[in-house]
Amino acid sequence: MLCRRAIPRLVQQQHSLFRTQVRHLNLLEYHSHKLLKDFDIPVPKGYVVGSPEEAREVVSKINAPSVVKAQILAGGRGKGKYESDGQGGVRIMNSPIEAFENASRMIGYYLTTKQTPPGGLLVNKLYIYKAVDVAQEYYVALTFDRDRSMPVLLISNVGGVDIESNADKLEHYWFDMTHGITSEITAYVQAQLGFSDAEMGVISHILHQMLKLFKEKDATLLELNPLVRTPEGHFVCLDAKFTFDNSARFRQPEIFSLEERLPDEEEEYEASQAGLSYVRLDGNIGNIVNGAGLAMATNDLVSLFGGKCANFLDVGGGATKESVSKAFEILNRDSRLKGILVNIYGGIVRCDMIAESIIDAAASTGGFKVPVVVRLQGTNSDKGLEMIEKSGLRNLIVEPDFELAAEKIVAVTEKSA
């Protein structure tokens, strides 16, 4: 699936720390197939199962060779490896017994692909449909070209897993939403990909229905890979990957009710629900700051002293006692942390309120498990620092100087590592 693989340069974005906080809804494959069907885009009749027994019943009902696909939010499933038997997450089953045996080694086990965390992702569901004979695979997608500030159609007659190494063969057709995919564009598509007039009639219908779905559902990417032509000349979408803009959540309650998240996205989602900005990083020093600029400066200064931050966590300029407590709650669950740096510059936010929140967070968790360095400056900072110093809390270090605070958290983290 190209959006999680070799994205073409024209739509590839260099994500800064801020951009990674922008969340997009991702759907599992079977949800995407249902949506395609609703918009009259051809897909095979599929079944979702959650047990080996259900897999056996479905393949018995299909009574033909069937495709069994692990449902996770990652591409490359066919070339992935299960912890149970070392096989991939996309398999052909020729009998109900074979379906039962394979499903027994797929459901409840971790599948690792190039796009999953090193330990893989747990598979709880399988998607099964009758195997389709394939004469030709195509890749078709709609997305936005941010550089040109307009949507673009991407299409290639080299689809499936081969798209990863053939991204340079994608044809690009830019258009505007007012005029949509015009007859001129479809003529270019037919000429470039060699569709017959009859085939182009079907392809044109699919493209226009994709655009309708794209607009009506506030999508940021619709990807059909592969869209296949059968030996009989029929077109069927065998796999799909969609993303939807998070800002459209209030307009698309039905779609967003289907949301499933990767394990490392749970903290990000929980933080966003509490009004916090959270991005997971690779280090072992947790940060709680107020303001994106201060967060970046904190990460940079910690790195300068040889440390590595585990997160970007911005409680915002209007932080409350509840949001600060939630920030500590999220960090306290992170087993990677060897220390936490609280760096607050009080403006609208009062530092004495932050201090009170820190003390309450420690009380609610039975004390801090790792060293916590607190730097407060600005509104009521003297009062806040005094409150913390008199609290008698263990593992709590007060340092009003920014540079020294960063240096101290790196030092105590190295000692506890």
Give the residue ranges of the annotated binding site for ATP. Answer: 69, 76-78, 137
Among 82-86, 156-160, 318-322, 327-331, the minimum mean pLDDT is found in 318-322
Evaluate whether 168 touches 10 at the Cβ level (below 8 Å): no
Share of the chain above pLDDT 90, in %: 55
User: Based on the domain organization, do 250 and 285 belong to the same domain?
Assistant: no
* Residue reference for tokens 């087993």: 335
Dump pLDDT digits (tens) for 116-165: 888 899 999 999 999 999 999 999 999 999 899 999 999 998 887 767 66
Count the domains in the chain.
Answer: 3
Evaluate whether 30 touches 48 at the Cβ level (below 8 Å): yes
Q: Using the 8-state DSSP alphabet, how is residue 286 labeled?
A: E
Residue 317 — pLDDT band, cuts 50, 70, 90? low
Domain of 216 in residue numbering reads as: 136-257
Cα(319)–Cα(209) distance, integer angstroms = 45
Dump pLDDT digits (tens) for 277-292: 888 888 999 998 888 8
CATH classification of the domain holding 174: 3.30.470.20
Whether 278 is in a domain gets the answer yes
Residues 6+ positions from 388 with CB-CB distance below 8 Å: 355, 358, 359, 374, 396, 398
Residue 270 — pLDDT band, cuts 50, 70, 90? low
Q: What is the mean pLDDT of residues 73-99?
A: 94
CATH classification of the domain holding 67: 3.30.1490.20
User: Based on the domain organization, do 411 and 268 belong to the same domain?
Assistant: yes
Query: Of 330, 347, 332, 333, nearest to 293 (Cα)?
Result: 347
Domain boundary among 130, 163, 188: 130
Tell me the H-state helices in 7-159.
29-38, 52-62, 96-104
Dump pLDDT digits (tens) for 172-191: 999 999 999 999 999 999 99
User: Based on the domain organization, do 273 and 231 belong to the same domain?
Assistant: no
Please give the pLDDT value at position 116. 87
In sequence order, the β-bridge partners of residue 223 are 141, 241
CA distances from 267 to 66, 161, 186 (A): 37, 31, 44
Cα(228)–Cα(234) distance, integer angstroms = 8
Inform me whether the pLDDT recorded for 238 exceeds 90: yes
Domain boundary among 215, 236, 257: 257
Whether 213 is in a domain gets the answer yes
Whether 283 is in a domain gets the answer yes
User: Based on the domain organization, do 409 and 298 belong to the same domain?
Assistant: yes
User: Based on the domain organization, do 234 and 145 belong to the same domain?
Assistant: yes
Residue 17 — pLDDT band, cuts 50, 70, 90? very low
Cα(409)–Cα(413) distance, integer angstroms = 6
370 CB neighbour count, 10 Å cutoff: 18
Which residues are the active-site residues?
139, 223
Cα(197)–Cα(193) distance, integer angstroms = 12
Q: Using the 8-state DSSP alphabet, how is residue 178 labeled?
A: T
